[in-house]
């Protein structure tokens, strides 16, 4: 008997599992005997038998973005110092780029896999990530700020090296991007869009919202802009919020966490501060056809021209 296994489960059912065993004898036939199963039936869709040290696949299930991640299987002992090389064509210019981000998952914790980028000039820059939790994707920050532009302006390959092969290791790499583009926008539901910042540092935000349909051209909305955005469209709303949920506010403005102005869904506006017209003795509060119902004032607080009256 070459090997025995027990308590094995597949999740999902299409998961590929690797079982390693030592064998120094050549056989023409191999027999697999299943003695028990918790299912009412079972089927083996595909089985490969081969000898290898380091194998790679395109993985469609365990990924963080796109269609596939890179999956590698490093065998115990024999995978040590073995490499996988991915040729980059066309080459990538990382001039002035300081950070690379990627997602990594492995069946072993610790620092067992080394990731490198190779420049056509001959320089290889490497990082050995430490996996803190087995079988869980984590984001790795690859600092290349100390690498000169001459050694990263023509990246022609990505190299994966097994640095520890004390046990078999299944690992996955996905979503490799430079920090300059490491942002993600997702639509959570019909009313919510989220922008994620994975750059590793605080970023100033300018949000350009491209609007289409209804015969309109593109427009922009900016947070903390250097100058005001111009809305040149005629007979449209520059800012339009349609809140369909109950409660809360349509608008809330704060200074250092303190409310300055809030507009509730009921239409009630609360202002912390003075409410002043832009020009003296020019604008009206209400009109002859749209009057305010009640006016509540403190004592000795109604001033008309130079005359003071109180209620």
Is pLDDT at 300 greater than 80 in this prediction? no
Q: How far is CA 133 from CA 74, 129, 142, 150, 210, in A?
A: 18, 12, 19, 36, 40
Residue 311 is predicted with a pLDDT of 45
In this prediction, residue 53 has a pLDDT band, given cuts at 50, 70 and 90, of confident
The model's pLDDT over 74-131, given as tens digits with 9 standing for 90+, comes to: 988 889 999 999 999 999 989 888 889 999 999 999 999 999 999 999 999 999 999 9
Rg of the chain's alpha carbons, rounded to an integer? 32
**Tokens 């250097």 map to which residue?**
226
- The structural domains of the chain, with segments of one domain joined by +, span 54-179
The model's pLDDT over 2-48, given as tens digits with 9 standing for 90+, comes to: 888 888 887 777 777 877 776 667 788 888 888 887 777 777 778 87
Give the whole-angstrom CA distance, residue 90 versus residue 13: 37
**Tokens 């051209």 map to which residue?**
217
Look at 77-91, 141-155, 156-170, 227-241 and tell me which has the smallest mean pLDDT: 227-241
Mean pLDDT, rounded, for 135-140: 95
Is pLDDT at 217 greater than 50 in this prediction? no
Is pLDDT at 201 greater than 70 in this prediction? no
Q: What share of the chain is helix, strand, coil (3-state, %, to 5)?
A: 0, 35, 65
Give the whole-angstrom CA distance, residue 272 versus residue 190: 33
pTM: 0.48
In this prediction, residue 215 has a pLDDT band, given cuts at 50, 70 and 90, of very low
Is pLDDT at 57 greater than 70 in this prediction? yes
Give the whole-angstrom CA distance, residue 222 versus residue 177: 25
Look at 127-136, 178-187, 228-237, 244-253 and tell me which has the smallest mean pLDDT: 178-187
Query: What residues contact residue 187 under an 8 Å CB cut-off, 6+ apart?
Result: 193, 194
Q: What are phi and psi of 180, to 5 degrees?
A: -60, -25
Give the whole-angstrom CA distance, residue 83 versus residue 64: 23
The model's pLDDT over 21-33, given as tens digits with 9 standing for 90+, comes to: 766 677 888 888 8
Distance of CA 96 to the CA centre of its chain: 22
Higher pLDDT, 302 or 14: 302
- Of the candidate CATH numbers 3.30.390.30, 3.40.190.10, 2.60.120.260, 1.10.760.10, the domain formed by 54-179 belongs to 2.60.120.260
Token code pair at residue 160: 């994966």
């Amino acid at each position: 008997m070459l090997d025995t296994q027990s308590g094995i489960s597949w999740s999902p059912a299409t998961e590929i599992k690797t079982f390693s065993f030592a064998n120094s004898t050549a056989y023409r036939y191999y027999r697999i005997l299943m003695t028990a199963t918790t299912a009412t039936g079972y089927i083996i869709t595909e089985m490969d038998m081969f000898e290898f040290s380091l194998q790679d696949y395109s993985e469609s299930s365990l990924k963080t973005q796109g269609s596939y991640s890179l999956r590698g299987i490093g065998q115990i002992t024999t995978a040590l110092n073995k490499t996988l090389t991915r040729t980059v064509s066309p080459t990538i210019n990382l001039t002035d780029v300081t950070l690379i981000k990627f997602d990594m998952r492995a069946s072993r914790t610790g620092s067992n896999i080394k990731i490198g980028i190779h420049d056509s000039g001959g320089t290889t820059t490497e990082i050995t990530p430490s996996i803190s939790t087995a079988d869980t994707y984590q984001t790795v920050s690859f600092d290349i700020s100390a690498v000169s532009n001459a050694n990263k302006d023509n990246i022609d390959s990505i190299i994966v090296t097994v640095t520890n092969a004390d046990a078999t290791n299944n690992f996955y790499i996905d979503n490799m991007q430079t920090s300059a583009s490491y942002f993600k926008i997702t639509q959570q539901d019909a009313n919510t869009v989220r922008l994620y910042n994975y750059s590793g540092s605080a970023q100033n935000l300018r949000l350009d919202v491209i609007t289409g349909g209804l015969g309109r051209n593109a427009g922009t909305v900016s947070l903390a802009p250097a100058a005001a955005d111009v809305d040149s469209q005629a007979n449209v709303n520059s800012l339009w919020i349609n809140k369909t949920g109950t409660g809360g506010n349509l608008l809330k403005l704060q200074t250092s966490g303190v409310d300055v102005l809030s507009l509730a869904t009921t239409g009630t506006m609360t202002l912390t501060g003075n409410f002043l017209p832009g020009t003296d003795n020019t604008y009206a509060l209400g009109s002859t056809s749209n009057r305010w119902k009640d006016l509540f004032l403190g004592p000795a607080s109604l001033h008309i021209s130079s005359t003071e009256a109180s209620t």
